[in-house]
Amino acid sequence: MAREIVYADLRHLGDCSPAEKQCAPAFCPWWHRLLFIAGGLGQLILLVLVVVLSVWACAGCKLCPQDWQLHGERCYWLSEELGNWTQGMKNCENQDSQLVVLQDKKEKEHIKTVTGKSPPPVWIGLMSHQKVWRWVDNTPFNPKMLGPSLHEMGEGCGTLRAKDFEVNRCDALHKWVCKKNPFLLCSVTAEDREKSKTSI
């Protein structure tokens, strides 16, 4: 039996030559269209969620330099070396920070965790001049908020031992604590944060 070669004329549904008057319509089953629409909506919802979550997460993207501790809205660092008050102040300034200025009792309590259990005194950004105590950022010392008054004590520089303020000669040798703002991975304003919270 001789081999026969058969050529088939293949056409897509819906293709027809001009000579033919009728051709089969091209169509997809209804469930193909439904899957296509559902897939598109799913991608749109996923895109919106990614945008909303990235804006919301950026509000907490704060980083401190290596060896610094993030607490609340600030970074804290305890020196390893000893120095006098002025050396501590200059060392902090060289790291784009300042000797710690305590804003409230919670922050004062946190310094205890930075310095460790039963620490020796550490320099803080407090100094007296003519028996007037001021912080290095020129804000006045508030004894009501932060503990006992230092006003009766003489000239000197402020240290913190555990949770108590002490006065030392400014040329004494102690470690010191620096404080700075964290690095923000993405800058989101408070207004943007509120908008993203209300949109969730």
2 is written with which tokens?
């001789």
- Residue 127 neighbours by CB under 8 Å, 6+ apart: 85, 133, 134, 136, 156, 157, 158, 170
* Domain chopping of the chain, boundaries: 1-61+185-200, 65-183
CA dihedral 9, 12, 15, 17 (to 10 degrees): 0
φ, ψ at 129 (rounded to 5°): -135, 120
- Residue 178 neighbours by CB under 8 Å, 6+ apart: 76, 77, 79, 91, 92, 95, 97, 98, 99, 100
98 is written with which tokens?
């300042």
The yes-or-no verdict on residue 37 having pLDDT over 50 is yes
The yes-or-no verdict on residue 192 having pLDDT over 80 is no
Strand partners, 70: 75
The pLDDT, as a whole number, for residue 57 is: 54
Which CATH code fits 65-183?
3.10.100.10
- How does residue 7 score in pLDDT terms, banded at 50, 70 and 90? low
Distance CA 89, CA 137 (A): 11
H and E: helices and strands count for the chain: 5, 10
For the segment 137-156, what is each residue's pLDDT rounded down to a tens digit? 998 887 776 555 555 566 78
| Least trusted range by pLDDT, from 20-34, 152-166, 182-196 | 182-196
Distances (CA, A) of 46 to 42, 49, 109, 195: 6, 5, 43, 19
For the segment 91-142, what is each residue's pLDDT rounded down to a tens digit? 999 999 999 998 888 888 888 888 887 678 999 999 988 878 889 999 888 7
69 is written with which tokens?
């501790």
- How does residue 68 score in pLDDT terms, banded at 50, 70 and 90? very high
Q: What is the mean pLDDT of the chain?
A: 78
pTM comes to 0.61
